[in-house]
Amino acid sequence: MIIKQWDFDENQINDDKFWHHYNGMRRLKDLQTVINYLKNESLKGKLVLLDASEGGPLMMGLTMLYPNDTLATINGVLAGP
């Protein structure tokens, strides 16, 4: 899940705004917001974190930040043609 709050407004995409905010730290903070919400509101079990490509370091970081809430981390790599 990526929270894309900066890249579009209904039918228009603002490339400058998106690329200004699209970085690993922003994505990590967005994912932490979702996990913290789930923990505070409705998380009954454990997390399974799944990533592909550049998401690997983010998922490993989340695994270290939430070790007691993470059941598994699955790292995938997408291969090109």
Asked if residues 45 and 72 have their Cβ atoms less than 8 Å apart, the reply is no
Q: For 24-72, how does the pLDDT look when each residue is reduced to its tens digit (9 = 90+)?
A: 777 888 889 888 988 888 778 888 888 877 777 888 889 999 999 999 9
Q: Which long-range contacts (CB under 8 A, 24 or more apart) does 31-39 make?
A: 31/1, 31/3, 31/58, 31/62, 32/62, 32/65, 33/3, 34/1, 34/3, 35/62, 35/66, 35/69, 39/69
What pLDDT is attached to residue 80?
47
Higher local confidence (pLDDT), 77 or 31: 31
